[in-house]
Homo-oligomer: A and B are copies of this chain.
């Protein structure tokens, strides 16, 4: 039962300090809240030993170390275990990066393990060390809420960026749809699809927390969790709205392209329909038959031009009647 070399933040309502190791034995018994924030799952041995020290079930530790683990909430008698998906929007590749974050909540202890995200909970740590927002006065469950809130806030940011992308595609679609418009619609649709797939279980998870009868969550914290739940409903709502809009766009795009093909066809048809008969006429009088009487007429050439002009005018009237101009 050695002490473990994980940076630990220890605080109570009066003070907060950062320790270099985590003492599992005294944790939860001395009135302090301890937060072990691990930024990578590379140290598999350390995490396994930490799990043992805290008496965490082997299956939980396996889930923590499995980067493909689904979003999940497990209730144990003295422990809540959550797996979340943290998302990040990469503006350059227009794609969403998903990362796997595990939270363990025990009496007086919160352990957060991110897959490899560096320092996503920096702002929460600062709140504690700078004693802001009354975090110190709250218990471990409130800390857990703060971490959840941080994760959900990332969803908001991503959905905002996808919303901006959708708006810019719409402008393009209305003004002048080009080929890349199609690709952009496709990509944003796909990202929204993935996003929805990770938000849905998260919403269920938070809903499960709100309604859970775990003794680790105070009544007051459920109000805060309900707030997070409302945010997730709003996110799901936005995703579905953007998806509907993009489907609508794709249908409209297809019609736009058909419209454009029709326009292209019209130009070709107008030019062809005007000049092909004229060219035939010119071909006639380029023939070498012995006796083509028109060729010897004094005003033959002039008459040819007059006839040509009449044909052109008739054609133009025809297309005008068809409202092609």
Residue among A223, A233, A254 with max Cβ neighbours from chain B (10 Å): A254
A-B contact pairs, 11 of them (CB 8 A): A70-B234, A182-B255, A186-B248, A194-B241, A260-B262, A265-B269, A268-B269, A275-B277, A279-B279, A282-B287, A286-B286
By the criterion CB–CB under 8 Å, are B292 and A248 in contact? no
At the interface, yes or no: A91 with Cβ under 8 Å from chain B? no
Most chain B beta carbons < 10 A, residue from A179, A234, A261, A300: A261
Q: Is the CB of A190 within 8 A of B275?
A: no
Interface positions, chain A 89-124, Cβ under 8 Å from B, are none
Partner of A179 from B70, B244, B259, B265 at Cβ < 8 Å = B259
Q: B230 touching A70 by the CB < 8 A rule?
A: yes
A300: B residues at CB distance < 8 A: 289-291
Contact present for B289 and A285 (CB under 8 Å): yes
A interface residue numbers (CB < 8 A to B): 59, 70, 72, 174, 176, 179, 182-183, 185-186, 189-190, 193-194, 197, 223, 227, 230, 233-234, 237, 241, 244-245, 248-262, 264-269, 271-273, 275-280, 282-298, 300-301, 304, 323
Taking a contact as CB atoms under 8 Å apart, the answer to whether B256 and A254 are in contact is: no
Residues of chain B contacted by A296 (CB below 8 angstroms): 290
Q: CB-CB < 8 A to A298: which residues of B?
A: 290-291
Q: Is the CB of A254 within 8 A of B258?
A: yes
| Smallest CB-CB A-B distances: 10 pairs | A282-B283, A285-B287, A286-B286, A268-B269, A289-B301, A257-B258, A261-B262, A264-B265, A275-B276, A279-B280
Residue of B nearest to A291 (CB): B301
| Known A189-B248, A250-B255, A257-B255; contact A276-B279, beta-carbon cutoff 8 A | yes
Q: What separation, in Å, do the CA atoms of A241 and B198 have in the docked complex?
A: 11
Q: A250's closest neighbor in chain B, by CB?
A: B251
Question: In the complex, what residues of B have CB within 8 A of residue A301's CB?
Answer: 287, 289, 291-293
Least CB distance from A240 to B in Å reads: 8
Q: Which residues of B contact A244 (CB under 8 A)?
A: 193
Chain B residues near A185 (CB, 8 Å)?
A: 252
Given pairs A254-B258, A275-B280, A288-B292, 8 additional interface contacts (CB within 8 A): A182-B256, A186-B248, A186-B249, A189-B248, A258-B258, A271-B272, A287-B301, A289-B301
What residues of chain B lie closer than 8 Å to A282, measured between beta carbons?
A: 280, 283-284, 286-287
Q: Which of B179, B259, B273, B287 contacts A182 (CB 8 A)?
A: B259
Q: Of B267, B268, B277, B304, which one neighbours A289 at CB under 8 angstroms?
A: B304
